[in-house]
Amino acid sequence: MGDQSGRRETPAVSVVVPTHNRVRVLPRTLESALAQQDVELEVVVVDDASTDGTWAYLEGHRDERIRPVRNERNLGVSGSRNRGVEEARGEWIAFLDDDDLWAPSKLSKQLALARLEAADWVYTGHVVLDDRTRAAAIESAVPASEAAMKLKGYNAVGPPSSVIASRDLIERAGRFDERLSYIADWELWIRFAQAGEAALVPEALMGYVQHGESMLLQRRYNVWDEVAYLESKHPEVEVDMLFLSRWLASGPRRAGRRFQAARVYWDGAVAHRNFGNLVRAGGMLLGERIMRVGRSLLGPDRTFEPDWLDPYRQD
């Protein structure tokens, strides 16, 4: 698709959106990308061989900042992100998953901080959302000064949709490892931290949506094989299995699959003699009342509702 808009050839930011059979939620995500303030951007949407009308929707989109490309065969999420990077023309690359949401000021704040601190990549805090875009929890990323060290144990930076990176950094560090799906972002952040300077915007400027179609709930991915591969690729990594078990349980827990979540929590409690995971496992089996008691033992509730979510909230 050629550029007939008369805009400059090099936008400040290329937003890379991989998508596969998500035409139901994709428009909302694209709306949040196009609503970015004070940033010249393009949105490269990579349709990964969808069969649900996604391509027809993209071809009919009226905003010329949308640049759709299509994979004739399914490449997976990492391959699709890499295809988007290949197509991107921006000086900066931002990653946005097809069901996540951005605050209107996200990119402008990240770019401003990158200039201020001469950073090669910038990440933000995020809020976890359920499938009705209601806030379930706030997740704070670690300070940039600690990122390289913390990433040796767990994904201390956060999801792809929280990160922007300079084109120069991606050329030095490389793209997503296409052998990975669950933890491809974590593995790339390890390389980013080794190759460039990071910066953090601590505000929750990204909404990470968890729902019944989330990757955390898909049985076709084997995270344990991916973890073994990660440790073989990066010998300096010692995966924090306790943190990983909690992350793995978060998807089924918020989707209401309490037995699946309880099994993950129980395994973590037994393996690590961790009281917090034991409380969570019991709560999954005994109900939300026990979970509320458990949460009171584990610390304060950090759930909040950022104002920028108002246009996307569903009753």
What is the per-residue pLDDT for 273? Answer: 56
Q: What is the pLDDT of residues 51-83, one digit of tens each?
A: 999 999 999 999 999 999 999 999 999 999 999
In this prediction, residue 217 carries a pLDDT of: 45
Share of the chain above pLDDT 70, in %: 75
Of 129, 119, 131, whose CA–CA distance to 163 is shortest?
119
Low-confidence residues of the chain, pLDDT below 50? 1-7, 214, 216-218, 220, 272, 288, 290-302
What does pTM read for this prediction?
Answer: 0.84
Beta-strand runs (E) in the chain? 13-19, 41-48, 66-71, 92-95, 101-102, 121-129, 135-139, 163-166, 198-209
DSSP annotation of 220 reads T
Distance CA 93, CA 90 (A): 6
Rg over alpha carbons for the chain, rounded to the nearest Å, is 19
- Tally Cβ neighbours within 10 Å of residue 315: 4
pLDDT at 134: 83
3-state secondary structure of 62: coil
| CA 88, 43, 6, 54 torsion-angle sign | positive
In the prediction, which pLDDT does 137 show?
Answer: 82
Domains of the chain are 13-216 (3.90.550.10), 240-298 (no CATH)
Gap between the Cα atoms of 90 and 69, Å rounded: 16
Reading the block at residue 178, the tokens are: 């296409």
Query: E strands along 99-251, which residues?
Result: 101-102, 121-129, 135-139, 163-166, 198-209
